[in-house]
């Protein structure tokens, strides 16, 4: 058996998330179906982090086993030729048989894009959240600083399986004003709960709108109640930027 690692980018707009689901179109479904045809046997793909419907990726890491000989460049060309531009395999490499894209990851970095302008832009709408009201970026950064470190993020996650933990460590979280109308929120952590980044973004945008104060974030964290935090930001502004090993 050969273990193959893919570095994958995709536009998540028209996919029902990454994970396999025979009932709907997913990134894993498209990848595994094409890989099966190329290597001529069933393929099960694993990823560094499942993304929800409408969420994008630039640095998703995927791995699979195959009994076929692998020519990395040839395989990459075949994948790009049939999947691009929705899914682009940026790199292909043969790796150690024990490589696990999820468990071996030490951190993950996400970026959320907000268009803060009086009118929307049809050319960026697939990849950003249009917010009409002026935002206080300084207040949003003051609020974001409270998320750095290890906390229980129960107030910012959808409930997971019984017995699962919502304690996570955030390494960095900050807003950057890219131009007059574009804001990037970059956040990195060792791991994230389901919808955690979008919940954090929704709360921080509420701070920017003046609906909450920056110093309210610690209270939201200690509440351990999803109702204590802000609404969930739309999926289209979120992108999995990179995974570190």
Torsion sign across C-alpha atoms 209, 215, 217, 220: negative
**100 tagged catalytic:** no
Determine the 3-state secondary structure of 107 from DSSP.
strand
- Note the pLDDT of residue 163: 74
Q: Going residue by residue through the chain (245 aa), what tens digit of pLDDT does each one get?
A: 999 999 999 999 999 999 999 999 999 999 999 999 999 999 999 999 999 999 999 999 999 999 999 999 999 999 999 999 999 999 999 999 999 999 999 999 999 999 999 999 999 999 999 999 999 999 999 999 999 999 999 999 987 777 789 999 999 999 999 999 999 999 999 999 999 999 999 999 999 999 999 999 999 999 999 999 999 999 999 999 999 99
- Note the pLDDT of residue 159: 78
> CB–CB of 36/65 below 8 Å?
no
Run of H or E residues at 93: strand 87-95
Torsion sign across C-alpha atoms 204, 209, 211, 214: positive
Options 3.30.420.40, 3.90.25.10, 3.30.1300.10, 3.30.70.660; which CATH number does 107-244 get?
A: 3.30.70.660
Task: Name the architecture of domain 2-95.
Answer: 2-Layer Sandwich (3.30)
Q: How far is CA 12 from CA 25, 84, 171, 226, 239, in A?
A: 11, 13, 26, 26, 9
Q: How far is CA 242 from CA 27, 40, 58, 158, in A?
A: 17, 30, 7, 23
Break the chain into its structural domains and give their ranges.
Answer: 2-95, 107-244
Say what the pTM is. Answer: 0.95
Cα separation, 78 vs 73, whole angstroms: 9
Give the angle subtended at the CA of 218 by the CAs of 213 and 219, to the nearest 5°.
Answer: 85
**φ and ψ at residue 194, rounded to 5 degrees:** -65, 125
- Note the pLDDT of residue 160: 72
Q: What are the tokens at 108? A: 């993950």
Find all residues with CB under 8 Å of 202, minimum gap 6, and list them.
229, 230, 231, 232, 233
- Note the pLDDT of residue 145: 98
In the set 14, 52, 125, 225, the catalytic residue is 52
> CB–CB of 165/173 below 8 Å?
no
């Amino acid at each position: 058996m050969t273990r193959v690692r893919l570095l994958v980018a995709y536009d998540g707009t028209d996919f029902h998330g990454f994970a396999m689901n025979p009932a709907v179109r997913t990134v894993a479904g498209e990848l595994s179906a094409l890989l099966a045809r190329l290597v001529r046997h069933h393929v099960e793909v694993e990823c560094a982090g499942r993304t929800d419907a409408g969420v994008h990726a630039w640095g998703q890491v995927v791995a699979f086993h195959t009994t076929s000989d692998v020519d990395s460049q040839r395989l990459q060309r075949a994948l790009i030729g049939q999947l691009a531009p929705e899914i682009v395999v940026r790199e292909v490499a043969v790796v150690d048989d024990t490589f696990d894209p999820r468990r071996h990851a030490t951190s993950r970095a996400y970026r959320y894009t907000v268009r803060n302008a009086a009118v929307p832009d049809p050319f960026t709408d697939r990849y950003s959240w249009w917010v009409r009201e002026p935002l206080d970026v300084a207040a949003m950064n003051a609020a974001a600083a409270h998320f750095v470190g290890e906390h229980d993020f129960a107030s910012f996650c959808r409930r997971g399986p019984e017995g699962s933990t919502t304690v996570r460590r955030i390494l960095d979280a900050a807003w950057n004003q890219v131009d007059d109308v574009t804001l990037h929120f970059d956040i990195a952590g060792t791991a994230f709960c389901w919808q955690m980044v979008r919940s954090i973004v929704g709360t921080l945008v509420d701070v920017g709108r003046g609906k909450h104060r920056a110093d309210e974030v610690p209270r939201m964290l200690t509440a351990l109640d999803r109702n204590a935090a802000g609404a969930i930001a739309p999926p289209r502004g979120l992108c999995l930027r990179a995974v570190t090993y």
